[in-house]
């Protein structure tokens, strides 16, 4: 007989919180009848300034089976939180979950850009990706490098050697679920290897909090500028250079100017 669920939750606090957040968002999406096009990430949306979708697309799921598959894999991968003795642990998990969510989303957009601009494949202009799989595939890859003897358990009865899980799952989901985002999953694997091999390193509490702060700023500003949500306390106006947005917090009289770099079917991830 297995251990009580309560003890598992205590040993995987970050994983449990993320599963709770994704489940709550799924319930809200179902309750409000929100479609993938409202929260998903596409190249067309990104160039229109909907940068907030990098975050909403990662934590949103449209179907129950999509949610269950991703959260089942994530629960198994939560073992990372218990591996502090090999340099992983809760802090490592939280820091690099943030990196995986942002960089895998950005990498997907970069791949779309290359395919559209260089190879003229217009199909990828409006493909909309949604789901947490890019982060899940990232953690599969990190665990495959750091702890190759581990197993990936799915649905409580299917067990895969973690060393083969990233590419096995990439091929399996592409065959079984035609709508699965091959590029989204591949981006998670690429960023996962970059983290596991030390190409992306140096994350600590300071950098994680700084990164989170900038994510919140960009999230709020892009929501406001794209017209997706109207923050009454926030005004955005141009200062000297119309290409550089500025943010004014009403009532404080302070203005923050930010630099802006130009960025030139449904897929579930």
Place of tokens 């994350």: 203
List, as one string, the DSSP characters of 126-157.
S-EEESSHHHHHHHHHHHHHH-TT-EEEETTT
CA distance 82 to 213: 27
Would you call 66 a catalytic residue per the annotation? no
For the chain, domain boundaries: 5-224
Residue 258: its pLDDT value, please? 44
The CATH number assigned to the domain with range 5-224 reads 1.20.1540.10
Question: pLDDT averaged over consecutive 10-residue blocks of the chain (269 residues)?
Answer: 78 96 96 93 95 96 91 94 94 97 97 96 94 96 94 76 88 83 95 96 94 96 89 64 54 48 57
Q: The tokens of 214 are what?
A: 């900038």
For residues 23 and 67, is the Cβ–Cβ distance under 8 A? yes
233: CB partners within 8 A, 6+ apart: 249, 250, 251
CA distance 116 to 81: 39
The residue from 150, 185, 187, 222 that is catalytic is 185
Secondary structure of residue 85 in the 3-state scheme: helix
Residue 243: its pLDDT value, please? 55
Residue 157: its pLDDT value, please? 66
Would you call 133 a catalytic residue per the annotation? yes
The residue from 133, 150, 169, 181 that is catalytic is 133
Residue 263: its pLDDT value, please? 36
Residue 260: its pLDDT value, please? 42
Q: Is 182 exposed, middle or buried (0-12, 13-18, 19+ CB in 10 A)?
A: middle
């Amino acid at each position: 007989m297995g251990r009580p669920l309560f003890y598992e939750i205590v040993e995987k606090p970050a994983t449990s919180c993320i599963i709770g957040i994704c489940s709550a968002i799924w319930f809200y999406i179902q309750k409000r009848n929100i479609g993938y096009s409202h929260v998903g990430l596409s190249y067309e949306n990104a160039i229109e300034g909907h940068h907030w979708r990098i975050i909403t697309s990662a934590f949103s799921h449209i179907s129950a089976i999509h949610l269950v598959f991703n959260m089942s894999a994530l629960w198994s991968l939560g073992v990372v939180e218990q591996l502090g003795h090999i340099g992983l642990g809760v802090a490592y998990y939280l820091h690099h979950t943030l990196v995986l969510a942002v960089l895998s989303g950005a990498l997907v957009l970069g791949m779309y850009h290359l395919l559209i601009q260089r190879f003229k494949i217009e199909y990828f202009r409006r493909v909309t990706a949604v789901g947490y799989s890019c982060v899940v595939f990232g953690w599969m890859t990190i665990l495959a490098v750091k702890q190759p003897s581990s197993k990936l358990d799915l649905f409580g009865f299917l067990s895969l050697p973690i060393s083969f899980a990233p590419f096995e799952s990439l091929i399996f989901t592409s065959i079984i679920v035609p709508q699965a985002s091959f590029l989204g999953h591949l981006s998670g694997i690429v960023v996962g290897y970059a983290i596991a091999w030390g190409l992306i390193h140096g994350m600590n509490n300071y950098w994680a909090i700084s990164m989170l702060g900038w994510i919140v700023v960009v999230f709020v500003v892009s929501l406001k500028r794209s017209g997706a949500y109207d923050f009454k306390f926030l005004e955005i106006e141009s200062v000297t250079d119309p290409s550089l947005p500025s943010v004014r917090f009403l009532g404080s009289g302070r203005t923050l100017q930010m630099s802006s770099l130009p960025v030139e079917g449904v897929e579930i991830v």
